[in-house]
Amino acid sequence: MAAGNEVSTTYYIQHHLQNLTFGKHPINGWSLADSAEEAREMGFWAIHLDTMGWSIAMGLLFIWLFRKAGKMATTGVPGGLQNAVEMVVEFIENLTRSTFHGRNPHIAPLALTLFVWILLMNSLKIIPVDYGPVLFAKLGVDYMKIVPTTDVNATLGMALGVFGLILYYNIKVKGAGGFARELSLTPFNHWALIPFNLVLEIVSLLVKPFSLAMRLFGNMFAGEVIFILIAMLPFWAIWVLDVPWAIFHILVVTLQAFIFTTLTIVYLSAAHEHH
Amino acid sequence: MNINMTLIGQTIAFAIFVWFCIKYVWPPISNALHERQKKIADGLDAASRATRDLELAQERAEQTLRESKEQASQILEQANKRSAQMIEEAREQARAEGERLMASARSEIELEVNRAKEELRAQVSHLAIVGAERVLEASVDEKAHRELLDKLAAEL
């Protein structure tokens, strides 16, 4: 889209950053939001259909690919798909082995799921920003933001899942009492400092999922905004900035997936350790 | 940035995908990987064992070769010794035979000489008698002088 006047520019950016929202509108009832205001008015009882749809699609793609490779897996000479899948699996296994110090066979598959899923969701960014909205507008759908990780709900949703696991393993490994003791008696092992410790530990505990979600969301959202801005250049000039930015994003996409995964393993490792 | 139910939906999706991965995706791939690792380790083991075996076999072959060479040289030496001995024996035998032949020839010669002497003696006595008959022109009683002539012949 060529840059028009200020209103259309703002509209363009806002339109591309708006999710397809289905929810309970105070006036219209359960419906698709027609504008950003309507979506906002729906409050909590709304769902981003594009975020959910694309993230589940990517999750299913991951499950399907890896399940297929697992079914074909032979101990002989591996083929192309099996090679690629095994490379990823081995990478995650090594990462888990070097980062996670407890003994829990579920950590590596968890990390694999997170890594590949986030990688696939992030990779949707390489698709030009106009394709989603324009294509779906042709089909009669007003909004379509195809990269789930540019939606804070998606990243925070996953981070909440990780947070739940952190709590679960803390209580499972240390017991409820042990966990409470750790929260209240570290870092300063003195009864007078229990309130201080509690505040400190609870804040550091809550910061974990929040930082996970915000890091991924921030990186992906910022990248998306830049892509949208670049897309507003004259069509023959777009590639000059778009191509380097996309190439750079191949790195960002992988790096952010890796960081999310690694930090999850680190947090869960800490949850398994006694202090 | 509206926080809404997508948050919970995403958490549920996350839980389901993780559960599915733990249950159905990870085990077959991981198993195949570890099994192959074991297979490769076994193969490498077998290869190193085979190399060791080969070394051992080579050593054994070398030793056998060395032993057989030694044996061959021993046999050769024995044969040489034996042949020298045989030549020596043959020479000895030849000399003995030669000596024996010489001795027999000598004795034969002696015999021959004796016989010639005897014959010569007999002829001389006969010649003497004939000579005497001619000289005397008379028939001398051979019988009467026989004894005398024999005596004469024995003195020759």
With respect to residue B40, please indicate whether it lies within any of the assigned structural domains: no
With respect to residue B36, please indicate whether it lies within any of the assigned structural domains: no
In angstroms, the CA A258 to CA A270 distance is 18
Question: A23 vs A31, A49, A144, A233, A274, CA distance in Å?
Answer: 6, 10, 16, 35, 44
User: Of B8, B24, B29, which is closest to A86 when you measure between CB atoms?
Assistant: B29
The verdict on A4 touching B (C-beta cutoff 8 Å) is no
Q: Is A48 in Cβ contact with B28 (below 8 Å)?
A: no
Dihedrals φ, ψ of A31, to 5°? -160, 170
With respect to residue B99, please indicate whether it lies within any of the assigned structural domains: yes
With respect to residue B132, please indicate whether it lies within any of the assigned structural domains: yes
Q: What ipTM was reported for this prediction?
A: 0.88
pLDDT digit of tens for each residue in chain A (275 aa)? 444 566 788 888 888 888 888 888 888 888 888 888 888 888 888 899 999 999 999 999 999 999 988 888 777 777 788 888 989 999 999 999 999 988 889 999 999 999 999 999 999 998 888 888 888 888 888 888 899 999 999 999 999 999 999 999 999 998 999 888 888 887 888 888 888 989 999 999 999 999 999 999 999 999 999 999 998 888 888 889 999 999 999 999 999 999 999 999 999 999 998 76
Nearest CA in chain A to B25: A67
Reference B34, options A210, A102, A93; nearest CA is A93
How many folded domains does chain B comprise? 1
Domain limits at B90? Answer: 46-155
Nearest CA in chain A to B4: A44
With respect to residue B106, please indicate whether it lies within any of the assigned structural domains: yes
With respect to residue B10, please indicate whether it lies within any of the assigned structural domains: no
Dihedrals φ, ψ of A88, to 5°? -65, -45
With respect to residue B20, please indicate whether it lies within any of the assigned structural domains: no
Nearest CA in chain B to A60: B17
* Residues of A with catalytic function: 211, 215, 219
Alpha helices in A80-193 (DSSP H): 80-99, 107-123, 131-138, 152-185
Query: Helix B26-136 and helix A80-99: axis angle, to 10°?
Result: 110
User: Of B2, B20, B32, which is closest to A46 when you measure between CB atoms?
Assistant: B2
With respect to residue B59, please indicate whether it lies within any of the assigned structural domains: yes
